[in-house]
Amino acid sequence: MSPLNRRSVLLGLGAATLTACATQRLPAAPAAAPQTFPKVLARRERITRTVVGLRPFRPQGFRLEAERFGEKTVIHNYGHGGCGVTLSWGTSQRAATMAGEAGRFDVAVLGGGVMGLTSALLLARRGHAVTVYAEAMHPNTTSNIAGALWLPASLYDRDVATQEFLDLNWHVTREAHRGFLPYVNRPGYGVSWVRHSETSNRVRDPRFALPGGDDLYPDLQILTAQTRFGFPYEERYHTLMIDPDYYLDQLMRDAQLAGARFISQRFETLDDVLALAQPVIVNCTGLGAGKLFGDETIMPIRGQLTHLLPQPEIDYSYTTYIDGSLYMFPRKTGLVLGGSHGRGNWSLDVSEEELTRMIDGHAALAERAAFATHPA
Ligand SMILES: Cc1cc2nc3c(=O)[nH]c(=O)nc-3n(C[C@H](O)[C@H](O)[C@H](O)COP(=O)(O)OP(=O)(O)OC[C@H]3O[C@@H](n4cnc5c(N)ncnc54)[C@H](O)[C@@H]3O)c2cc1C
């Protein structure tokens, strides 16, 4: 794969060096007919709610591995930062396979967020007797707060993650994407395609493909002119919009139909966990894993989302940067404005300052021309 060559052409940097193979990978040229981007009405009187959640972040990336405690096997599946919904099918499929390899019938799943529900569903469908234990269940988990765009982002620190992790993550990302495809436009699941723009003040290094490979982002265009909001650089493609209010509801129902049982329980210590009857335990406790399993590397990245009244005409999303990052995701139930990342911040209180930044920032973006050529 050679995204370097592809992007070199689009950026006008070295067409002569293209190989025939790389030429075949070129995405379609920028659309000839201008696309329309109706304005977001970012106004206080349109706010329906503002919510806060804590992304379970590990600088080295998610934890996906088996750990033995005497007779018990614990499969860890936590620490997915800002893209747990995105990666849920990928890491949960691997966690379910690891749990199956322990060769036991009864499996406990700790956690009722997207990771616990997906793991439980997969294990129940594979014939295990599954019991989900969690303090908070849908609709009261961090997963319910998520944006939730299918986008592998805010997952690890580049200077900390190992090459081994990056290789694993590449494959998991691809598996995760494949896991969502059967749900697109399935009635009641809240999963659909959206055309997404990611803009930047800096023209990005063309050697790097998008996470998991460019082919996961249909209709990919790299733009350095006629960009969204007039930024110097834009990656435009289609990705999946997942509405957690619908999606988690269905996932929980599917897990129950497959035979999973749900028990509301909080665990204070590792001994509490190991006292469970099941010999195999899949740990999907997100941030809770820090205390339960002594993981001192996991930390919160606080995020605040402001929901606005729906605008059915808005069929696009964006991630951009103007005095901090800002994103907008459209749902049937409303527009989601976000982009706050408070590393190490445990506060679940709504920040008025952040709310103002969201409304003012998105309103300012809406005032920019739909297309504008950035200054030379
Ligand atoms: C503002 C915001 C925006 C986001 N946007 C996106 C996005 O656009 N795309 C995306 O993919 N992701 C997004 N995320 C990230 C995503 O929400 C998380 O990565 C994901 O929810 C993690 O899922 P989880 O199942 O591991 O954890 P959680 O949803 O937190 O679930 C953990 C479960 O474990 C249980 N638990 C924990 N400790 C204990 C204990 N001691 N005893 C019993 N039960 C326990 C909890 O009660 C809960 O049921 C966003 C997050 C935030 C906050």
pLDDT computed for residue 9 by the predictor: 30
Instruction: Write out pLDDT tens, residues 243-258.
Output: 999 999 999 999 999 9
Q: Is residue 211 part of a domain?
A: no
pLDDT computed for residue 322 by the predictor: 84
Residue of the nearest CA to atom 33 in ligand 1? Answer: 111
Query: Residue 19 pLDDT > 60, yes or no?
Result: no
pTM for the full model? 0.91
Residue 276 near ligand 1, beta carbon < 6 Å: no
Instruction: Write out pLDDT tens, residues 235-244.
Output: 999 999 999 9
Assign 103 a pLDDT band (cuts: 50, 70, 90).
confident
Residue 90 near ligand 1, beta carbon < 6 Å: no
Query: Residue 33 pLDDT > 90, yes or no?
Result: no
Query: Residue 18 pLDDT > 90, yes or no?
Result: no
Residue 298 near ligand 1, beta carbon < 6 Å: no
Residue of the nearest CA to atom 1 in ligand 1? Answer: 303
Q: Is residue 74 part of a domain?
A: yes
Query: Residue 25 pLDDT > 90, yes or no?
Result: no
Instruction: Write out pLDDT tens, residues 175-226.
Output: 999 999 999 999 999 999 999 999 998 888 777 899 999 999 999 999 999 8
Q: In total, how many domains does the chain have? A: 1
Residue of the nearest CA to atom 26 in ligand 1? Answer: 286
Residue of the nearest CA to atom 19 in ligand 1? Answer: 84
Residue 301 near ligand 1, beta carbon < 6 Å: no
Cα of 114 to ligand 1 centre, how many Å?
7
Q: Is residue 214 part of a domain?
A: no
Q: Is residue 154 part of a domain?
A: no
Whichever domain contains 72, its CATH number is 3.40.50.720
Best of 143, 281, 307 for a ligand 1 pocket test (most atoms within 8 Å of beta carbon): 143
Residue of the nearest CA to atom 30 in ligand 1? Answer: 142
Instruction: Write out pLDDT tens, residues 72-95.
Output: 999 999 999 999 999 999 999 999
Q: Is residue 101 part of a domain?
A: yes
Q: Is residue 2 part of a domain?
A: no
Residue of the nearest CA to atom 16 in ligand 1? Answer: 84
Mean pLDDT, all residues of the chain: 89
Q: Is residue 88 part of a domain?
A: yes
Residue 154 near ligand 1, beta carbon < 6 Å: no
Q: Is residue 24 part of a domain?
A: no
Cα of 247 to ligand 1 centre, how many Å?
14
pLDDT computed for residue 369 by the predictor: 61
Residue of the nearest CA to atom 21 in ligand 1? Answer: 143
Residue 141 near ligand 1, beta carbon < 6 Å: yes
Residue 84 near ligand 1, beta carbon < 6 Å: yes
What residue numbers bound the domain in which 63 lies? 56-147+244-299
Instruction: Write out pLDDT tens, residues 330-374.
Output: 999 999 999 999 999 999 999 999 999 999 999 999 988 655 444
Cα of 119 to ligand 1 centre, how many Å?
14
Residue of the nearest CA to atom 52 in ligand 1? Answer: 146
Assign 34 a pLDDT band (cuts: 50, 70, 90).
low
Residue 62 near ligand 1, beta carbon < 6 Å: no
pLDDT computed for residue 202 by the predictor: 86
Instruction: Write out pLDDT tens, residues 306-325.
Output: 999 999 999 999 999 888 89
Best of 58, 76, 77, 85 for a ligand 1 pocket test (most atoms within 8 Å of beta carbon): 85
Beta strand 280-283 with 106-110 is parallel
Residue 289 near ligand 1, beta carbon < 6 Å: no
